[in-house]
Structure 1
Amino acid sequence: MEVKLHDIGEGMTEADIVSFLVKPGDVVQADTPVVEVQTDKMTAEIPSPIAGIVGEYKVKQGQTVPVGTTLLIIKNDHHAEKPIQSTLAPAPHYQDVNFHSQKQRILASPYTRKIARENGIEIEKVIGSGVSGRIIDEDVYRFIEESNDEAVKEPIKSVKQESSEQSGPQLLVSIPFRGRRKQIAAKMAQSINTIPHCTHFEEIDVTDLILFRKELKELDRDISATAFFLKALSICLKEFPIFNAKLDEDKEIIILSKEHHMGVAVDTEDGLIVPVIRNTERKSIRTIHLEMKELTKKAIANRLNVKDITGGTFTISNVGPLGGSIGATPIIQQPQVALVSFHKTKKMPVVTDDDQIIIRSMMNLSMSFDHRVADGGNAVRFTNRFAQLIKDPKMLILEMV
């Protein structure tokens, strides 16, 4: 039987072959992970659809293949001998159990295995300290530090020596344009070539929000500014549902969603990932904060599953904490209608209505929207309402009652 790459995420068209988790001749059970793949949003494991013996590989590690491609062959042999012995039940789809050989199954997340691969470590040699012997990131780092294996250290030494002996102009370094970077590029190009983007800029007074968060922190109730932004945006989306919509050109309709599934862009080593916090319209600011914190950890560790990254109706990007950004023209996550980006906050003089000059903390905001669906007037009213809620956090809380 052919094991094919199927759609493991919303709008997925292709994936990179990260590694094979079995080798030809291995006996596998149904649902045993056999291939690890990476899309623009996540790393996942493709399971065997049947019990049998692993046949030949049909693709190569590192190759980018479209959905529907045959990855490897599983021979349906009921008389196969030497079945794999394991006390663990077969791993469900998308879990991070790694299956390596007939002798053992290695428990480690895709991200942990990636750390091992990048440092030339055979993960089978690492002793896991996690639950049921699971190998965690710290185990790999500890192994690297404590290893006396010269085969691991020698390449590092050689690179350093070669670098120190080089003279003259340095050669240009190339990096592969594939995997998540390539797939992000394809999605961004499709969005910018399909949607007529219009970007509206605004200044938001966050002085009182900063003070309110300090008060909460003193009460051991630390909540991120982004959680407040998400709740305020959810209130705005109730009042301006045109920005929580999608356009179906074939049916010639604009579909408005009553549910607010907010995508939060997370900057990771492998590129931008957008996990989704569902139903923010029904959740408290604290609940939003806790869910966002957990999803961010999973995104950085490359442990997001399909549900974590699909179904978003509106997206935000908070680049303010990185510093230096005063504005941008963010690209919309198709088929959504709008995206808001939060930028640097800085203290600056502000003239009041009675001509007094005071110092306030001001944050820049960029809002890109699909000009086929919405107009500039609504975008201005939307950001004005958001600014009103954020300027006075107590008003934001009252809106939730």
Structure 2
Amino acid sequence: MELRLPELGDNVATATVVGVLVKEGDRVAPGQPVLELETDKAVMEVPAEAGGVVEKVLVKPGDEVKPGQPFLVLQAEGEAPAPEAPAQEEAPKAEAPQRAEKAQPPAPPTEGRRLVPASPSVRRLARELGVDIYALRGTGLAGRITEEDVRRAAGLAAPERAIPAPARPPLPDFARFGPVRREAMSGVRKATLRSMAQAWAQVPMVTHFDEADITDLEALRKRYAPKAEERGFRLTPTAFLLKALALTLKAFPKFNASIDEEAQEIVYKDYIHIGVAVDTPHGLLVPVIRNVDQKGVFALARELQEISERARARKLTPEEMQGGTFSLSNLGGIGGVGFTPIVNWPEVAILGVSRAQMKPVWNGEAFVPRLLMPFSLTYDHRLIDGAEAARFCRHLASLLEDPLGLALE
């Protein structure tokens, strides 16, 4: 008999085999887990619908499978003997082997042994609490069983009522309480409203905070600032940040990527175009500096000044605000100790920089004054994990803390 995959859950068309729990020749019992599948981030076990001896395994780890697809061939054993037939209808003994080869059809999967989407940690919790995970109905995404579901079944949590999302209420009549005035939104503000609402609705964001010792970098910047002035531009900390970011993005290409949800693919870009937020009288604009990884600090400083001036004069072309792969928002010139910038979708990360401050730092023998720059990385948690974000920030900080090495790259 062939065992076929049952339905995987609502809106789940395929899964990936992550483990085959039996091999040819093994005996399995009805309901015994024989396969592990992964869909999204849930790992689920597939129980055998019937018992027998494994004759052939039709899938292997890494295979993509679909509901109804055969994955195991069993040879039935231990079948109950057929009722004894009347003597006149007794089949010839020669037919007995042929009849024995005809396996009984597999029993239909019982409700208690359906395919269950749950992570290994949730399964472990269920075992520890003595909860039959196959008897639960998940309340998580796509029917996944959560820790709360298991705890609730064990009597450790009170049932929660689903609260429908409230409709947006109308604004009150502010004029009842005093004078008001209205002003039409500018085109820039309307665009900001749309893009921020879209990003907030589509991207599950997490922000990681860190800081870099830029004492030596600031000394180097001040040393070469007069040469930049002679050439007609200012050498700002943002130029060094752009250079360090480009090198960090090359080392961590996932932060320079995008998610194609429809195709279920990650789009890696072999170019580095960084959008730089510019505060203008008309609102926040984000012009894009292209091929940052191919330019030196002086060239970046000059281009940054030119494109920022065009932004404030509202002379940017649409092309100059498109194609970014990563964004940078530097509020260090204004102040603040930290903030959580919003990812500019379809990018997957953005760096926010705050004002650097002198702080005492222990060097192993004494406290010494060092200039520390706080920064924050907001990232799309669908693609980037916390540990990756922490390593990204440490790599960036190490480049900023070694300005000579940064200049030589």
Query: TM (normalized to structure 2)?
Result: 0.54
Find the counterpart in structure 1 of residue 203 from structure 2: 195
- Residue 219 of structure 1, CA deviation: 4.0
Find the counterpart in structure 1 of residue 320 from structure 2: 308
- Residue 170 of structure 1, CA deviation: 7.7
Find the counterpart in structure 2 of residue 255 from structure 1: 267
Are residues 178 and 287 of structure 1, via their aligned partners in 2, closer, same or farther at CA, if it must alter by over 3 Å?
closer
- Find the residue that maps to 1:186 and give its secondary structure: helix
Find the counterpart in structure 2 of residue 328 from structure 1: 339
- Residue 258 of structure 1, CA deviation: 1.4
Find the counterpart in structure 1 of residue 188 from structure 2: 180
Letter in 1 for 2:243: K
- Find the residue that maps to 2:241 and give its secondary structure: helix
| 1:43-82 mapped onto 2 (5 Å cutoff) | none
Q: Does the aligned pair in 1 maintain the 2:325–2:347 contact within 8 Å?
A: yes
Is 1:298 equivalent to 2:310 in the alignment?
yes
Letter in 2 for 1:285: V
- Find the residue that maps to 2:179 and give its secondary structure: coil
- Residue 220 of structure 1, CA deviation: 4.8
User: Which residues of structure 1 form unaligned runs of 5+?
Assistant: 1-168
Are residues 220 and 183 of structure 1, via their aligned partners in 2, closer, same or farther at CA, if it must alter by over 3 Å?
closer
Whole-angstrom CA distance in 2 between matches of 1:180 and 1:296: 16
Is 1:277 equivalent to 2:285 in the alignment?
no
User: Which residues of structure 2 form unaligned runs of 5+?
Assistant: 1-176
Whole-angstrom CA distance in 2 between matches of 1:363 and 1:174: 40
Give the alignment partner of residue 240 of structure 2, picking from 224, 228, 244: 228
Give the alignment partner of residue 237 of structure 1, picking from 225, 243, 249: 249
- Find the residue that maps to 1:322 and give its secondary structure: coil
- Residue 173 of structure 1, CA deviation: 3.4
Is 1:266 equivalent to 2:274 in the alignment?
no
Whole-angstrom CA distance in 1 between matches of 2:280 and 2:186: 16
Q: Does the aligned pair in 1 maintain the 2:239–2:300 contact within 8 Å?
A: yes
Q: What CA deviation, in whole Å up to 9, does each residue of 1:296-350 have, x standing for no partner?
A: 0110000001221110000000111012x11111111110010001101111111
Letter in 2 for 1:351: W
| 1:13-162 mapped onto 2 (5 Å cutoff) | none
Letter in 2 for 1:247: I
Whole-angstrom CA distance in 1 between matches of 2:239 and 2:269: 21
Find the counterpart in structure 2 of residue 27 from structure 1: none
Are residues 386 and 250 of structure 1, via their aligned partners in 2, closer, same or farther at CA, if it must alter by over 3 Å?
same
Give the alignment partner of residue 219 of structure 2, picking from 197, 205, 211: 211
Q: Does the aligned pair in 1 maintain the 2:186–2:282 contact within 8 Å?
A: no
Q: What CA deviation, in whole Å up to 9, does each residue of 1:334-381 have, x standing for no partner?
A: 1001000110111111112x1410111111101000000111111111
Q: Which protein has the larger Cα radius of gyration, Structure 1 or Structure 2? A: 2
Letter in 2 for 1:206: I
Query: TM (normalized to structure 1)?
Result: 0.55
Whole-angstrom CA distance in 2 between matches of 1:340 and 1:349: 25
- Residue 230 of structure 1, CA deviation: 0.4
- Residue 285 of structure 1, CA deviation: 1.1
- Residue 179 of structure 1, CA deviation: 2.4
Q: What CA deviation, in whole Å up to 9, does each residue of 1:40-63 have, x standing for no partner?
A: xxxxxxxxxxxxxxxxxxxxxxxx
Letter in 1 for 2:359: M
- Find the residue that maps to 2:272 and give its secondary structure: coil
Letter in 1 for 2:311: A
Instruction: Indicate the larger mover: 220-229 or 362-371.
Output: 220-229
Whole-angstrom CA distance in 2 between matches of 1:219 and 1:301: 26
Q: Of the two structures, which has the highest relative contact order with CA contacts closer than 8 Å and spacing of 6 or more?
A: 1
- Residue 182 of structure 1, CA deviation: 2.1
Cα RMSD of the aligned pairs, angstroms, is 1.5
- Residue 236 of structure 1, CA deviation: 0.4
Find the counterpart in structure 2 of residue 375 from structure 1: 385
Letter in 2 for 1:202: D
- Residue 172 of structure 1, CA deviation: 3.2
Q: Does the aligned pair in 1 maintain the 2:289–2:304 contact within 8 Å?
A: yes
- Residue 174 of structure 1, CA deviation: 2.9
Q: Does the aligned pair in 1 maintain the 2:260–2:267 contact within 8 Å?
A: yes
Letter in 2 for 1:275: P
Aligned length: 229
Q: Does the aligned pair in 1 maintain the 2:255–2:326 contact within 8 Å?
A: yes
Find the counterpart in structure 2 of residue 26 from structure 1: none
Letter in 1 for 2:342: I
Whole-angstrom CA distance in 2 between matches of 1:360 and 1:250: 48
